[in-house]
Amino acid sequence: MTGLRIERRGALMILTIDREDRRNALDSATSAALDQAVDEGERDPGVAVLILTAVGPRAFCSGMDMKEAAANGPGSGLIPGRGFGGITQRRRTKPLIAAINGAAVAGGFEIALACDIVIAADHAVFALAEVRHGMFAFSGGIQRLARMVPRQTALALILTGEPIGARRMVELGLASEVVPAADLLDRAIAIGEMIAAYPQEGVRNAKLLHDLAADAAIDDSLRFGRAWGEATLDGEAIRAGIAAFAGPKD
């Protein structure tokens, strides 16, 4: 038994962490199941978008399962080469939407930072709490904050472990939007279905180019984008999209 529910809804794969009694902390089994589910979603041509959320209003994910870590040693929830939950160090081709239903703490915050779109319930809070326990967020949290927000803002989060609210996350550009808790999953599904309805070659290429551009110098990413874009301009999906936009001929 693992603490993960998997649901298919059309072209969406919805992954729900189900360990509410442990504040949805990831033990080794649930982390492995999540890693495997993302693998399956990446391979399945019928899946266009993945959504990750959790049960209950208290927590999205409170990081590693500390009881398991105390019994077996630290590192619970880490997948070699893919990071916490099999997500924080993984390169993905398909969009992953986080629906943050409560506290995203430590590894839970790192997972949120690794997702492509983050929808947060209005009561959600976020914290990199590792420093309070003599650790640090090495599985992507510190590295992504260093790229996403100014130095002083990042270090205040990293070195104090103090929580911030969902609206502050949006102000910092770390979350996409805030919605009432009752609307959270519906909003994530609506965004997922919107993306899934588009020609998927364009979606994949747009995500890949963004991720490459984020890691490259601007001149390199502009040259690559131009060359790649020109190579795809004659594709069937692009021709169909232009024709549909232009409307019927006179």
Give the integer Cα–Cα distance in Å for 161 and 159.
6
Residues 125 and 207 in one domain: no
In a domain, 118, yes or no: yes
Averaged pLDDT, 37-53: 98
Q: Of the listed 20, 68, 130, 171, which one is catalytic? A: 130
Give the integer Cα–Cα distance in Å for 66 and 108.
13
In a domain, 31, yes or no: yes
Residues 125 and 190 in one domain: yes
Averaged pLDDT, 38-51: 98
In a domain, 75, yes or no: yes
Residues 62 and 25 in one domain: yes
What is the percent of the chain where pLDDT is above 70? 85
The tally of domains found in the chain comes to 2
Residues 164 and 139 in one domain: yes
In a domain, 249, yes or no: no
Averaged pLDDT, 94-118: 97
Task: Check residue 2 and give its pLDDT.
Answer: 81
Residues 209 and 126 in one domain: no
pLDDT band at 242 (very low <50, low <70, confident <90, very high): very low
Residues 175 and 132 in one domain: yes
Residues 128 and 237 in one domain: no
Residues 189 and 213 in one domain: no
Residues 57 and 129 in one domain: yes
In a domain, 24, yes or no: yes
- Does the structure show a pLDDT above 50 at 230? yes
- What is the span of the domain harbouring residue 175? 4-196
Highest mean pLDDT pick, 5-19, 136-150, 196-210, 222-236:
5-19
pLDDT band at 139 (very low <50, low <70, confident <90, very high): confident
Which pLDDT tens digit goes with each residue over 122-135? 999 999 998 888 88
In a domain, 173, yes or no: yes
Residues 150 and 234 in one domain: no
Averaged pLDDT, 113-129: 97
Task: Check residue 134 and give its pLDDT.
Answer: 84
Higher pLDDT, 216 or 7: 7
> Is 130 tagged catalytic?
yes
Higher pLDDT, 68 or 97: 97
In a domain, 250, yes or no: no
Tell me the CATH number at 155: 3.90.226.10
Task: Check residue 212 and give its pLDDT.
Answer: 84
Higher pLDDT, 126 or 227: 126
Averaged pLDDT, 19-29: 95
Averaged pLDDT, 36-58: 97
Residues 18 and 90 in one domain: yes
- Does the structure show a pLDDT above 60 at 205? yes
Q: Of the listed 20, 68, 110, 230, which one is catalytic? A: 110
